[in-house]
Amino acid sequence: MRSSKLAVLAFAALAVAGCAHQPSADDPKVRGIGYVRVTDVLKKHPLYPQLSQIQDAIDGLGLKSLGPNAVPRTQAQIAQQTKELNRELQQAQDRANGILRQKQQDYAQREQAAIRAALGAAGAGTNGSQPVQQMQNVSSAQAQQVAAQANADFNAYQQGVIAQDNAAVQQISKQLSDRADREYRQRATQLQEKESQLSLELSQQDASKRLDLRMKLNSLALPDAQRKQYRDQLAGLDKNEAAIVAAQREKDQKALADYQKQLQEQTRAQITAQAQKIHDATRSKLASRHNEVSQQVASQMQGLQPQAIPSNLPAATRDKLAQIDRQYKDAFKADAQKTIQQYQSTKADLDAQYQALQSADGTASVSASKELAQLQKQRDDLYNKMVDQIKRDAGTVAAKRGLQVVFMNIEGAGGGIDLTDDVEKDIESLHQ
Amino acid sequence: MNIRKTYRLLAAVAALALIAAPSAIAADLTGVGFIDQAAIGALPQFQKANQQVAQYKSQLDSQFAAQMKHAKNPSDQQRIAAQFQQKFLDKQREVLGPLFGRAQTAIAQVSANQKLGVVVDKRIVVYGGQDITKNVMDLVNGPGAVVPPSATPPPATIGYVDQSQLENVPKIKQANDNFTKYASDQRANAMKQMQGAKNDQKQQQQIFQSYQKSLSDQQHKLLDPLVQQTRDAISKVASQKGLILIVDRSDVIYGGTDITSDVQNALK
């Protein structure tokens, strides 16, 4: 019985000693004010590991953005992959053109041999070289027609691509200009608020003088000269305040003008850089199309029209030569078609990759930003829940300590009571 | 019997006064009020004014686009842009200016009536303080002009610093710039390594962790000492000026003591 009383007394003494090192709420260096470092308490909260886990998941998205298998997210990555695709396409075109050229030569040589043999069999002998040579001369009119058509197609495409280029540059210019406008307006609003505050402070400073003058002016028995003097003083106060506010406004306007100039220069530089990228992409598209057209022209040039057969040959020989020409042309067409199909297949695959690449940035951003938004919401909800609990506990501790007001997120303390340790213990004990 | 009752009542009142006294004294000493700024911003007149400004802006945008089409050169474009910017600002000042002014005056008047030395944003108050949101809203919504208080705010127990200005102190700015450059270089380096890691998830994880660690180490080395120096300087100035706590400028709505320049000088 005696020992238990002693224990209680000892515990009470310890409790008093524990409180003794901190000042009381009415201490001049406290004046009823306390504070809590919420970021420190959060780390002791039982839900902190969960919060960290969500944060890790958010960081994980950052890891994906650095990974090689990630969908490209930067302009530089897209540019690099576009360059690789362009190279692959170029190689496919060169390969197809090379094969076609080789086939053309093979078929031409075989046709020449067949024609020589036919002429020999018909008794034309070595004179057969002249008709063969004549047949080799592809009609220049046909060639010019094919080239003209190809040029017209290319020009139409070029105009379309250039129009797209202009639209893209305009769009990016608008976006960057809008952003600069927003920043400018934000700064302007800040300065405006500052001016309002100044105006209010000035009117407060002069409020007692103004009230005094107005009361004096209310007196009916005031001589005219005196009344004028008071009115002038009142007007003087107004004028002085207006002058100070106007001076501040002028200063702010100058600062704003300088800021606008800086923003304009910055925006101009950004627009130039973006426009350069767009122009580079356009040049690349045009170069690619040019290669395609060249290949088509080459393909069409390969004498798909029947060649002119010299008219001085006998009718049977002419028929034979025409048949040989058709036979080899048809065989070449069928063979070349296979090569062209192979090339088209490769090109379709590369086109799909281009398209995926062009939309990748947007798609990846949308997908990643959705995931990020979800995670951030989860984190914010949990964070708010934890902070609310810390606030409630801080309130309980503050009431026990007789404090009148408790702050969080402070920058520094010249006094007050730091409740962080108490709240940390409280939070920990609540969940033990 | 009546006399006895009276004495009992007096004794009860005296006891009540004793219980209530410490908190009453403390309330007078703190002089801290707070406002829910979102509630003020949601007042119909503020929302209407914001809509009006937004509507005006959309009208201006189409006029602006039309005029820009006829601009002959970049300087012409700049002139038109500046002209429209000014128009927008004038409208903003015209529509929102009086509302801001009225709200500021209302806050000043309520603060003066309640002898508050400082009014802060609701979000930083964990416990206690005086919520003056409703009083301010009543004044803002009330008829007639809101009269500015004749008295200036009483000496505040709370001070504030403008962090954005402290960031311009040369050694802090230098440290921030150095850290930003370091972070950018490290990121570029990590990206190169990631390209080399191909499909090796484990290696990717290691690269990312190493990247994060390097940033964290550099932050401890470059920035943490300055953060501590700044905190110490703020606390020292606060003690010298008899201020209990210092908060960020953005959290202060009315009153308070600005110690930014003192802290800037202490950090030089």
* Cross-chain residue pair A412–B246, CB shorter than 8 Å: yes
Report the residue of chain A nearest B123, measured CA to CA. A408
| Residue A431 within a domain | no
The yes-or-no verdict on residue B126 having pLDDT over 50 is: yes
Q: Are A78 and A357 in contact (CB under 8 A)?
A: yes
A110 Cβ neighbours under 8 A, 6+ residues apart: A328
Of the candidates B124, B160, B190, the beta carbon closest to that of A66 is on B190
pLDDT tens, residue by residue, A118-153? 888 877 554 545 555 555 544 444 555 566 566 667
State the pLDDT confidence band at A343, using cuts at 50, 70 and 90. confident
Of the candidates A67, A193, A391, the beta carbon closest to that of B194 is on A67
The percentage of residues in chain A with a pLDDT greater than 90, rounded to a whole number, is 11
pLDDT at A208: 81
Of the candidates A184, A192, A412, the beta carbon closest to that of B234 is on A412
Query: Which residue's structure tokens are 């340790």?
Result: A421
The CA distance from B206 to B190, in Å, is 10
The CA distance from A92 to A98, in Å, is 10
B224 phi and psi angles, rounded to 5 deg: -55, -45
- Which CATH superfamily is B31-151 part of? Skp domain (3.30.910.20)
**H or E stretch at A367:** helix A315-400
- Which one of B127, B160, B193 makes the best mutation probe of the A interface by having the most chain A beta carbons within 10 Å? B127
Interfacial A residues in 363-422 facing B (CB < 8 Å): 390-391, 394-395, 398-399, 402-416
State the pLDDT confidence band at B198, using cuts at 50, 70 and 90. low
The CA distance from B163 to B230, in Å, is 10
The predicted model gives A409-429 an average pLDDT of 88
Write the DSSP string, A51-98.
HHHHHHHHHHHHHHHHSTTSPP-SHHHHHHHHHHHHHHHHHHHHHHHH
The predicted model gives B177-203 an average pLDDT of 81
A38 phi and psi angles, rounded to 5 deg: -60, -35
| Residue A179 within a domain | yes
Query: Residues, chain B, total?
Result: 268
Q: Are B249 and A416 in contact (CB under 8 A)?
A: no
Of the candidates A197, A404, A412, the beta carbon closest to that of B23 is on A404
User: Can you tell me the ipTM of this complex?
Assistant: 0.75
The CA distance from A201 to A218, in Å, is 26
The predicted model gives A244-267 an average pLDDT of 87
Q: What's the token pair of residue A412?
A: 């520094």
Q: Are B116 and B133 in contact (CB under 8 A)?
A: no
Q: Does B98 touch chain A (CB under 8 A)?
A: no
pLDDT at A372: 77
* Cross-chain residue pair B30–A405, CB shorter than 8 Å: yes
State the pLDDT confidence band at A331, using cuts at 50, 70 and 90. confident
Report the residue of chain B nearest A264, measured CA to CA. B78
Q: Bigger pLDDT: B25 or A202? A: A202
The CA distance from B62 to A271, in Å, is 21
The CA distance from B6 to B26, in Å, is 30
State the pLDDT confidence band at B221, using cuts at 50, 70 and 90. very high
Q: Does B170 touch chain A (CB under 8 A)?
A: no
Residue ranges making up the domain that contains A205: 170-291
Dihedral over Cα of A6, A9, A13, A19: its sign? positive
pLDDT at A72: 40
Q: Which of A322-353 are b and which e, b meaning 16 or more Cβ less than 10 Å from the residue's Cβ? A: eebbeebbeebeebbeebbeebeebbeebeeb
Residues of B in contact with A185 (CB under 8 A): 88-89, 92
pLDDT tens, residue by residue, A18-47? 444 578 888 888 888 999 999 999 988 888
The structural domains of chain B, with segments of one domain joined by +, span 31-151, 165-267
The predicted model gives A215-227 an average pLDDT of 82
Min Cα distance A69 → chain B (Å) is: 7
The CA distance from A187 to A193, in Å, is 10
Q: What's the token pair of residue A320?
A: 């034979």
Closest CA to B131 of B110, B147, B148, B102: B110
| Residue A33 within a domain | no
Cα A59 to chain centroid distance, Å, stands at 19
Q: Does B148 touch chain A (CB under 8 A)?
A: yes
Q: Does B73 touch chain A (CB under 8 A)?
A: no
Q: Where are the beta strands (DSSP E) in chain B?
A: 32-35, 118-121, 125-128, 130-131, 158-161, 245-248, 252-255, 257-258
pLDDT at A76: 56
Q: Bigger pLDDT: A230 or A56? A: A230
The predicted model gives B29-45 an average pLDDT of 88
* Number of domains forming the structure of chain A: 1
| Residue A5 within a domain | no
Interface A-B: count of C-beta contacts within 8 A: 191
Amino acid B9 reads L
Least-confidence region, from A308-317, A385-394, B154-163: A308-317
